[in-house]
Amino acid sequence: MNRIIVLLLTAILLQGCAAIDDSKKTISLDQTLYFYESAMRWADFTAANSLRKYEGAPAPATDPAKLKRIKITGYDVLNTVPSDDESSVYITVKISYYDEDNLKLTSVTDNQVWQYDAAQNSWYISTPLPVFK
């Protein structure tokens, strides 16, 4: 009987530890997404790119001179879908912006893929910056 109680307590403790790890992972994702959104809103594309890690082929080059002219006016998350194993999150964002050269308000849909790096205990984005036309 004591053995069953010990096994049940062990199972409960392990479940609690898993819940704490999931909570830390969620908090880390929230903080990372907040940092990225803030960087994008302030058009600090260097800071936004600091959260990028490209797998495979390098990301397409973005013209830094053009990025200096871009001013973000809105950043609206439209959809968030975690993967089944919660190691990736797919986020669709509508970014409203204007180019200082033409002052025309435009928007772009940015399909982001965020992945969790268990070794670093951090999240990174594996998709490039949206194309600002």
Mean pLDDT of 81-99: 95
Predicted TM-score of the model (pTM) = 0.78
Pick the CATH number of 2-125 from 3.10.450, 3.10.100, 3.40.50, 1.10.10: 3.10.450
Strand order in the sheet with 70-82: 70-82, 88-99, 105-117, 122-125
| 133 confidence band (pLDDT: 50, 70, 90) | confident
Mean pLDDT of 90-101: 96
Mean pLDDT of 43-67: 79
pLDDT for 18-32, tens place per residue?
444 567 888 999 999
pLDDT given at position 9: 47
pLDDT for 59-87, tens place per residue?
666 777 789 999 999 999 999 999 999 89
The percentage of residues in the chain with a pLDDT greater than 70, rounded to a whole number, is: 78
pLDDT at 54 over 70: yes
